[in-house]
Structure 1
Amino acid sequence: GSALFPNPFLLYQRLGGATSLVLNLGGLASEASQNPPVFMGKWPNTSFSHLFLTLTVLSYISFTFVLSQLSRPSLSRPLFKSITTVDNIFLLTLSFTMALGCLASNFSQVPNFKNLVCFPRGTSPSGPLFFWAYIFYLSKIVEFIDTLLIILSGSMKRLSFIHGYHHSMVVIMCYICLESAQSSVPMVLVTNCVVHVVMYTYYLLCTLGMHPKWKKIVKDFQLVQFRLSFLIMAVVVFYHFTASGCSGILSWCFNGAFIVSLLYLFSTFMPRVTPPMPTSS
C-alpha cells in the first residue's frame, strides 16, 4: 500500500541500477530532489512491524544460544574464507551505498544545520532520508551474519555477551529511531556508515591475507564516532530546551542510554574479551 516503501525493483530502475547509485553522487542527489515519488515511502508503523522486530531479535538470541551449544560442522578453510569474503564485500558495498544515499538525502531534505540534529516536533518518518534509515535498519539484521561466522569459525571467545547485546540492541534502537523520527538521524547515519566502510575494508583485506598495518585507524574511527555521538547528544539537548523541542526525544534518551551502556561494558570487559565493533545508530 501507499504506507509502505517503494518496490525495490522500481527503485532500481529509477536509479539506473546500483552501480550508478554508488558511483554518481550528483545523480543520486538530483534523483532525490527531482523525482520525490521514488523516495516518498513512509515508515510502516503497523502491528506487523512490531511483531517482525520482536520475532527477529528473539530468533537471533535463541539461535545464537542453541548454535553455540551444539557441535558445529567443520568448514574447510577455503570455503569459510570464501563465505567471509562475500560477506565483507556485500556489507562494504552496502555501507558505502548507504553513506552516499544518506549524504545526498541530507542535501535534498535537510534545510539547515539545526535540522541535521533537531527535527521539528511532529516530523513524519518519510522521504529520502528515512528511506535510507529503513535500509540501514534492515542492514543491522543482515549483520547478524557476523555472529554466525564467529560460531562457524569456532572462535567462541569472540562470542561474548557484549557481542550479542550489541547486535540485538542496535536493531531495536534503529526501529525506535525510525518509528519516532528521532532527531540527529541525518548525522548518525552518515558517520556510522562511513565508519563501517573503513571497518569492512579492513576486514576484507585481512580475509584476503593482506593484513594492513592501519588497524589502529579502525579503532580510532570508532572512538571518534563514540565521542561524536556525545557531542551530537549535547547539541540535541541544547536545541530541545532552547527552541520548540526536537522530534523523538524519548528515542534519543534510549539511544544515549544504550551508548553509555556500551562504553561501560567495553571498559569493564575489554581486558578479558574481544568486543564487537561498536555501532552507534
Structure 2
Amino acid sequence: METLLSTVHYWLVDHPVIRQYEWKQGQTLGASPLFVVVTLISYPSVTLFLHRFAVLPDLSTAAAFRHVAAVHSMILCLLSLAMAVGCTLATHHQMPSWRWVVCFPVDPATLSRGPVFFWGYVCYLSKILEFIDTLLILLGGSRSRRRLSFLHVFHHAGVVVAGYLILSTAQSMLPVALVTNAAVHVLMYAYYFLCALGHRPRWKKLVTDCQIIQFVFGLVMSGLMLYYHFTGLGCSGVRALFYNTAFVAVLLTMFLDFHSTSYSSKKRKDHDN
C-alpha cells in the first residue's frame, strides 16, 4: 500500500513536469487575454450559429455517436478525478499552513508555480475540452437540443475567464475551488457516461444539488478569505476574486432557478399522474 501511495504521489505531485510547472504570461498556452477574448467570442458565436442556422443531423440513435459521448464523458470523469486527487495531494505537499489553502500571501514570490498551479492549469484547459459537451447536445437531436440553455453557454464561457484570472493573478482559494469543482464534475460526468450507455441513473437531481452546494461553499470560503485579507497582511489575487465571486453568485441564482423550475415541475407532474 505504501508503494502504491508513493507511486500515486510521484505521478500527481513529484513528477518534474508537475513540480517545476510555472504559468508564464504570454508564453504558456492560453496565458494571454487575447486567448480568452477569442474563446469568449468564438464559443457562443459558433454555438448560436449551429443552433439557429445550421442543419445538423440527429445522431442520437447512432451507436458510434453514443460511444463518442461515452468516451468523452469518461475522459472528463477520470480527468476530474485526477485533478481532485492531484490538487489535494499537491496542496498538502505545498502548503506552509492551513491558512495558505484559503489565502496565498501577497508577496512577489507568490507566483503561479508548483504542483497546485499545475492542476489549476489542467483544470483551465479542461474547460475548453468541455465545449464538446455543447456539440454533443447539438448533435443529439431535438430533444437533446432543448437542454441547450443560456445557463449552459454562460457557465461554460464564464469558467474560462475564471480559470485565466486565477492563474494569471495567483488567486487565493485555488485549492478549494479546484477540488470542489473537480469532485462535482466526477459525479456529473459519471452520470453523463451512464446516460450515453443507455442507463439513465435516478440521481440527476443529486448532480444539481451538489453544484449548488459547491457554489454556496465557495461563497462562504470567499468570505473567510476576505476576512484573512483585511485582518492580516493581505491575500494574493483579491481583485480577480471579486469577478469570480460575482460569477459564482450569478451561477448560484441561475442554478437555484433551474432547480426550482425543473424539479418542482417534475414533482408536480408525478403527483398529478
The answer to whether the superposition gives a TM-score over 0.5 is yes
Say which of 23, 26, 43 aligns to 2:23: 43
1:46 positional shift: 1.4
Q: Check the 8 A contact 1:28/1:104 in 2, yes or no.
A: no
Q: Check the 8 A contact 2:184/2:211 in 1, yes or no.
A: yes
What is residue 126 of structure 2 aligned with on the other side? 139
TM normalised by structure 1 equals 0.82
Q: SS at the partner of 1:158?
A: coil
What is residue 9 of structure 2 aligned with on the other side? 29
Unaligned runs of 5+ in 1: 1-22, 275-281
Q: Check the 8 A contact 1:118/1:183 in 2, yes or no.
A: yes
Q: Check the 8 A contact 1:42/1:125 in 2, yes or no.
A: yes
Q: Check the 8 A contact 2:67/2:197 in 1, yes or no.
A: no
Unaligned runs of 5+ in 2: 264-273
Say which of 226, 239, 251 aligns to 2:228: 239
Q: Which moved more, 1:130-139 or 1:228-237?
A: 228-237
Say which of 164, 170, 179 aligns to 2:153: 164
Cα offsets for 1:133-155 (capped at 9, x unmatched): 11100000000001111111132
TM normalised by structure 2 equals 0.84
What is residue 183 of structure 1 aligned with on the other side? 172
What is residue 128 of structure 1 aligned with on the other side? 115
Say which of 74, 78, 92 aligns to 2:58: 74
Q: Which amino acid in the other structure matches residue 84 of structure 1?
A: A
Say which of 49, 52, 64 aligns to 2:35: 52
The answer to whether residue 188 in structure 2 is matched with residue 199 in structure 1 is yes
1:62 positional shift: 1.4
1:81 positional shift: 0.9
What is residue 213 of structure 1 aligned with on the other side? 202
Q: Check the 8 A contact 1:25/1:104 in 2, yes or no.
A: no
Give distance in 1, aligned partners of 2:203 and 2:253.
Answer: 26
1:269 positional shift: 5.5
Equivalence map 1:106-121=2 (5 Å): 106-121=91-106
Say which of 34, 38, 46 aligns to 1:63: 46
1:183 positional shift: 0.4
Cα offsets for 1:9-67 (capped at 9, x unmatched): xxxxxxxxxxxxxx955434346776656522211211862222222221111111111
Give distance in 1, aligned partners of 2:253 and 2:91.
Answer: 32
- Sequence identity (%): 42
Cα offsets for 1:52-104 (capped at 9, x unmatched): 22222211111111111211123243122111111111111111111121111
The answer to whether residue 76 in structure 2 is matched with residue 91 in structure 1 is yes
Residues 224 and 267 of structure 1, relative CA distance in 2, 3 Å threshold: closer
